[in-house]
Structures are given as C-alpha cells and as structure tokens.
Amino acid sequence: MADLGLLPKFFALRLKRFNTPWVGILFSTLIAIGVSYMSYTDIVASANFLYGLGMLLEFSAFLWLRWKSPQMNRPYRVPLKLPALIVMCLVPSAFLVFIMAIASKMVYLVSGLMTVGGIGWFFLMKLCKSKGLLRFKSNLEDQ
C-alpha cells in the first residue's frame, strides 16, 4: 500500500538481503500479536463482521451509482431496474445484518475500534499528505 501511495513511504522500506518490506511486516506482526489474545471464535466473528460492513458499503455504493449515474459506462451492467436491484441487495443485506446482530460484545468492541481506527487513520493520512508531515510515494516517481 505504501508503493501505491496510500501509506507513508517508510512502510515500504525493504531489507536489502531479502527485499522484504520489514516495517509493514513488523506492523502486521504487532496487530497479529494483539489479536492473538482473543478467542478463535471472536477473531473469526470479528473478521466476518468487518467483511459484512464492507459488503453493506459495496451494496450501498452499487445502488447509489445506479441511482445517481445510471448511464455511466461500466465493464458490465446488471440488467435490472433500480427497484429490482434494491430487492436483490436486500436479501443478502438482511442476512448480514442478522449475523451482525447476534455477535458478541467482544466482536462489537473489536469491530467498532477497527472501524473507528480505520476512519481516523484515513483522515490522519490525508492530513499528513496535505501538510507534508510524512512522505508518500507519488505516481510521478514511477516514471
């Protein structure tokens, strides 16, 4: 992600011997160690909860684009009108919401912290880019 300019450049620092991004690996390892104190069931449930949030976001983006930009060129197009698309997205959304509703308190806590942390990280990186506090790779460096 640092190579794409989404994270600061230091996440892409690589060891010369193996060409591995050691800062990114260290960061991922610290997250894995933190999560390892949870039960396996809570880890899986948290991953599913976050995946479900992502799917709901994708469904809403899909419906929003169809409503606001129905004539936009796309690689492929679902051949249904908006009301049918809403019904099509409601069925899996109902299952996702049900699974989320029966989650444990630990899953809500972890998923909530990760969601808020992710949103906070996004705005922090945006601030760091605009103020020049951290260096990010730009597309111009590829040329």
pLDDT value at residue 127: 92
Is the Cα dihedral 85, 87, 92, 98 positive or negative? positive
Residues 97-122: pLDDT tens digits? Answer: 999 999 999 999 999 999 999 999 99
Cα end-to-end span (Å), the chain = 18
User: What residues have CB less than 8 Å from 4, skipping those under 6 apart?
Assistant: 137
Assigned token pair, 54: 């992502």
Is 89's pLDDT higher than 50? Answer: yes
Is 62's pLDDT higher than 60? Answer: yes
Q: What is the 3-state secondary structure (H, E, C) of the chain?
A: CCCCCCCEHHHHCECCCCCCEHHHHHHHHHHHHHHCCCCHHHHHHHHHHHHHHHHHHHHHHHHHHHHHCCCCCCCCCCCCCHHHHHHHHHHHHHHHHHHHHCCCHHHHHHHHHHHHHHHHHHHHHHHHHHHCCCCECCHHHHC
Is 12's pLDDT higher than 70? Answer: yes
Domain ranges of the chain: 41-103
Average pLDDT (135-141) is 71
Residues 64-78: pLDDT tens digits? Answer: 999 999 888 888 888
